[in-house]
Amino acid sequence: IPITATLKTSFLLIDLETANGLILNLLKGLTREATLIFSIKSLAITSISWVTATKSIAPVESAFTITSVSIELTTITGIGKQMIPNNKPTTAELQAAVHRTFAFGRSSGTDASPWTIKTDDLSGGGLSADAHRVSAAPELPVKGELGKVEIWHITGSAGWTHPVHVHFEEGQILKRGGVAPPIWEKYARKDVYRVGPIADSTTSVDIAIRFREFAGTYVEHCHNTQHEDHAMLLRWDLEHPGQTTRFATPIPDWNGVTYIPSVSLPTVKTGDLTAKAKFVLPLP
């Protein structure tokens, strides 16, 4: 399992052999329940500076900044635990996926609720939060299947940055800003996706998300508190195949909980057909 890690930490070292030893101890300390047996494939050390004023008394102490470490994990042993499989979607799953688009911004916002989410290619602007309204309804897998895959396109604007949190399921980033994501985001399982103009971010991210066997009602929202409260939040339901009636909306009060019918957007099952037609899958 090749892993490339970037460490921005300075060590007080005597020689490269000591550097190797310190890095090994550092990496072993990252796991408490298993022992990693690995070998260092390459080690890049930059920004070498001598602590003392002159090299004449070297090699007494040197300060190195470790910028890149490439490690090959060879064996994982410990107390009988295994790493969770990455569940990378297959090309066939991505080709068959339903696409959905969620645009986070101020489209059709009001003074009371300025932050909205526009779903799919629907005409009109964005919508504020409404717990009665279902914006997306992916389906449960058929018995024996791993779980159905959808592709969600999350977009922002050049103004605010939005850390978008999808409850319950984790996805894998296919593209960021229309191109392959950086190595630290590629195929990692995530449930928060940052879109916006700040460093290491872009105004769009495309994710593959696999839905497992837990039917129910969930939400997707911006994690800026002033955005999500009564505004930049939507409801999505994980439904049974062929289900045509939405899950009822719970209304809690001091006497208990009652339920009322829910409503849904027109694309709740089909998703964004325009986005599906335009999207070019990344290379395997």
All residues at 6 or more sequence positions from 219 whose CB lies less than 8 Å from its CB, including other chains: 167, 233, 234, 235, 236
Return the bridge partners of 222, or none.
164
In angstroms, rounded to a whole number, what is the distance separating the alpha carbons of residues 166 and 201? Answer: 17
Q: Which residue has the tokens 């009060």?
A: 253
Local confidence band at 23 (pLDDT 50, 70, 90 cut-offs) = low
Of 9-13, 105-109, 256-260, the one with minimum mean pLDDT is 9-13
- Segment 87-115 shows an average pLDDT of 88
DSSP per residue, 67-97: EEEEEEEEEEEESS--PPP--PPPHHHHHH-
Return the bridge partners of 257, or none.
252
In angstroms, rounded to a whole number, what is the distance separating the alpha carbons of residues 245 and 240? Answer: 10
Task: Please give the pLDDT value at position 80.
Answer: 55
User: Would you call 56 helix, strand, or coil by DSSP?
Assistant: helix
Task: Please give the pLDDT value at position 268.
Answer: 95
In angstroms, rounded to a whole number, what is the distance separating the alpha carbons of residues 87 and 228? Answer: 30
What percent of the chain has a predicted confidence (pLDDT) above 70?
69
Return the bridge partners of 129, or none.
none
Task: Please give the pLDDT value at position 18.
Answer: 53
Which of 122, 150, 146, 140 has the alpha carbon at shortest distance from 243? 140
CB contact at 8 A, 153 and 275: yes
Query: Quick one: tokens of 105?
Result: 């911004």
Local confidence band at 107 (pLDDT 50, 70, 90 cut-offs) = confident
Local confidence band at 22 (pLDDT 50, 70, 90 cut-offs) = low
Task: Please give the pLDDT value at position 275.
Answer: 96
Q: Pick the residue with more confidence: 83 or 116?
A: 116
CB contact at 8 A, 172 and 190: yes
Query: Quick one: tokens of 5?
Result: 């890690």
User: Would you call 271 helix, strand, or coil by DSSP?
Assistant: coil
Q: Return the half-sphere exposure (C-beta side, CA atoms, 13 A cut-off) of residue 255.
A: 2
All residues at 6 or more sequence positions from 128 whose CB lies less than 8 Å from its CB, including other chains: 109, 110, 113, 115, 116, 230, 231, 232
